[in-house]
Chain A
Amino acid sequence: MDNNSIYINSFSQISVQEPLSENWTTNPIIYQNEKLVKIKDPDYKEYYPANIIRRNGKVLRRAMLVSQTALKNSELTQVDGVFTGSGLGCVENTEAFLQQIVYEGEEFLKPTYFMQSTHNTISSVIGIALNCKGYNSTYCHKGISFESALLDAYLQIKSGKINSGFVCGFDEMSNTYFSILERAGYLGGKSIGFAGESSAGCIISNKLTNNSLCKISSVRIGYTQKPEEIEKLLNQALYDSNLTINNIDLVMTGINGNPENDEAYTKNLEYLNIRCAKLGFAQLFGESYSGSVYGVYGSALCLKKSQVITPLKIDNKTSEKIENILIYRHFRNKDHAFIILQKC
């Protein structure tokens, strides 16, 4: 047995698809002509007492339920650390407090919104939900927030510092913040994809279980605008995985309908000589800073099922076998992340 292998033991999601379910793989909800779609929350009353629901804002309820469901499905009873990616943190509470200051003044402010507005609120609620007093960190770096969290967890397990972790991506999107991102040119487009929210996470560990979805063989992230540097990064990811580019069966991308974003994918994939079938997550789950967590989720499920999940497909190419999936995420063609998942 390879002692250094890292597995995704379970995944859990709440999204614009049916929450806590894999129904989207066969019966996806299709969103057309919508710029922004918000998450369909389950009825939290089925899971938590009223006072807990009242005390925790929307994104925090999602974080509690997603993390606890993932742990339950993982065949593990405890994790050693919590690694959260969230580009904007609790942006709705942040905005609510900001609006009070801007429009009502500084005189009669209550702490309610502020207390649940820092970015790390999500990760600390997960720490409480999983009763995990170990390592706990929050990465807030635009489109590679989730990838940064995964890299930290991956390295700590690889080096033997810890054995397991909950790695997740959470972002909510307010209408006003969406309008700012749209005007700044970050989001919005025509063809496929829409802006959304994210709420998903996985248990990863060095233990292979019956439920394990796949192996994570590499996580590489870089900051560059030079194609040859992007290629170097990809080659490192392939080297980590003992693969060549010809072994890659599918590539999961962050193609989301925003022209600037999608053109960079087309150009870079061509430069990198990646010609296999392409997948996407934004047409199903929506784009947000940590939205690529759904890309990893979808890819992991493809490997578990040994088949391409049709709604993830964004071209007409086919794949003979499903053993190695490359996940490529860039943000404004400056931040680039490669993750390789392999069948276990």
Chain B
Amino acid sequence: MNITITGIGTISAIGNNCEETLLSLKNCKTGISKLEILKTIHNELPAGEVKLNYDQLAQLAQISDNETKVRTPLLGLIATREALKSAKLENTNDLRIAFISGTTVGGMDRMEQFYDDFTHNDTKNSFLYPHDIGDSSEFIADHIGIFSYVTSISTACSSGANAIILGAELIKNDRFDIVVAGGCESLSVYHFNGFNSLKILDNEICRPFDESRAGLNLGEGAGYVVLESDKIAKKRGIKPICKLSGYGNSCDAYHQTATSENGEGPYLAMKEALKISQLKPQEISYINCHGTGTPNNDLTESIAIKRLFGENIPPFSSTKAYTGHTTSASGGVEAVISILCIQKGFIPPNLNFKTPIETTGLKPITEFKNAEIKHVMTNSFGFGGNDSSLIFSNLN
């Protein structure tokens, strides 16, 4: 059985949908800029912010004006609607459809705005619900209304990728016909300060894989894919965009925030994905790297790639300098970008790269390149060593 992709949807700093995202990638246009929406004292730090306020997001998400607006699920709902539309999922009768969503921030934006009220008075009770991760997923699911299983995954920056992995397993095990999976995450004062306190935010636009890289830029957004077996897609009369041919999830089991020196977790995740896809390393046409721009990630990811691919390292780049690091959404957002690469035949260049990392010497793609992409690997590595890798393949 092939797990096919029949729909995609995304929103991030480089576009409110797939078409705008594609255009930004083709024009090498970054979405990282000065903060306008998020209110923090650290506004010297640039970010990949979606320049829409609550009301504008609500309008795009097609929710009524009197509903409680929370940023993460609104971003998620916008991308989910686009994914469903592109999969032409209109008549859902008799289909078993699940929704698997990854996030970590959840409703933290409202929690930090109203925390004092929630704990001391009743003035903000219209916003009073627990704002946990499950709330975000159920908000999206309830507005769509076609799902017979909803669950949430939080593995930090690999949440979106792990949601897609679970989706594939649910279809392979015949639990569901169709699974909509991915991730959503908004910026919050909470994690902006968290990452800042770890001293891993760059005050310039990030430079993945460059010797001078000095950290990441946070971003926000959502990315979802519609997964279904080739049999169901055929029955529905839908031509799939591509297939999910491999996936791997591995735990570095080393440290809370740093990756092991030899990149063991990333190596094992990529290796597992290759094994499931039954592809040889040299068959990978392009790697969309995790490539956050932090000294630790880019070094250990490079080491892991060298361990797995040896001398024949496929073309690779990180798209973090476009979108910023959309954390829990990144697995979903970058899955959509990788699928666009297959669909439209291109490799997005790694922005701001000049000098290779001295110890590894790896050079990413730095010019926009039209190319037939048969198999793309996309990596998502999370805090705590939750490492995942996906491989999407064309249908030829």
Instruction: Chain A residues near B115: list those with CB within 8 A.
Output: 98-99, 102
B149 contacts which of A98, A186, A221 (Cβ < 8 Å)? A221
A138–B155 contact, CB under 8 A?
A: yes
- Identify the closest chain B residue to A224 (Cβ): B148
Task: Determine the chain A residues whose CB is within 8 A of the CB of B151 once the complex forms.
Answer: 139, 141, 144, 148, 221
Size of A's binding interface in residues, CB under 8 A:
65
Q: With A140-B133, A141-B133 in contact, do A133 and B162 touch (Cβ < 8 Å)?
A: no
B137 touches A105 (CB 8 A): no
For B104, B147, B189, B198, the residue with the greatest tally of chain A CB atoms inside 10 Å of its CB is B104
Q: Is B345 an interface residue (CB 8 A)?
A: no
The answer to whether A132 touches B253 (Cβ under 8 A) is yes
Contact B256 A136 (CB under 8 A): no
Measured CA separation A87–B367 after assembly (Å): 44
- Known contacts A87-B134, A184-B130; A134/B250 CB under 8 A: yes
CA distance A309 to B284 in the complex (A): 56
Residues of chain A in range 104-122 having any CB-CB distance to chain B below 8 Å? 105-107, 109-111, 114-121
A169 at the interface (CB under 8 A from B): no
Q: A98-B115, A111-B197, A119-B133 are in contact. Are A158 and B384 (CB under 8 A)?
A: no
Alpha-carbon separation in the docked complex, A142 to B137 (Å): 10
Q: Which residues of B contact A158 (CB under 8 A)?
A: 173
With an 8 A cutoff between CB atoms, is A128 at the interface? yes
Q: How many A-B residue pairs have CB under 8 A?
A: 185
User: Nearest Cβ in chain A — how far from B149, in angstroms?
Assistant: 5
Among the stretches A4-12, A173-181, A209-217, A294-302, the one at the interface with B is: A173-181
A102 to B172, CA, bound (A): 46
Interface size, chain B (Cβ < 8 Å): 64
- A-side contacts of B249, CB under 8 Å: 135-137
Q: CB of A36 within 8 A of chain B?
A: no
State A155–B175 Cα separation when bound (angstroms).
9
**A117, A119, A145, A159: which has the most chain B beta carbons within 10 Å?**
A119
Given A133-B252, A133-B268, A136-B251, A118 and B149 contact (CB-CB distance below 8 Å): no
B104 and A124 contacting across the interface, CB-CB below 8 Å: no
Asked if B352 lies at the interface with its beta carbon under 8 angstroms from chain A, I say no
Knowing that A99-B115, A111-B194 touch, tell me 16 more A-B residue pairs with CB under 8 angstroms.
A97-B193, A106-B193, A119-B156, A120-B156, A121-B256, A125-B256, A127-B251, A133-B268, A135-B249, A136-B155, A142-B138, A144-B151, A145-B134, A222-B149, A223-B148, A334-B138
**B→A interface (CB under 8 Å):** 40-42, 99, 104, 108, 111-112, 115-116, 118-119, 125, 128-130, 132-135, 137-138, 141, 147-156, 162, 166, 169-170, 172-173, 175, 189-191, 193-194, 196-198, 249-254, 256-257, 264-265, 268, 382-386
Task: Give 20 CB contacts A-B under 8 Å.
Answer: A97-B194, A101-B112, A116-B256, A119-B104, A120-B104, A120-B382, A123-B251, A124-B383, A124-B384, A127-B253, A127-B385, A133-B264, A134-B250, A138-B386, A139-B151, A139-B153, A148-B151, A156-B169, A180-B128, A223-B148
The 6 closest A-B pairs by CB, nearest first: A124-B384, A136-B251, A114-B194, A127-B251, A142-B134, A119-B154
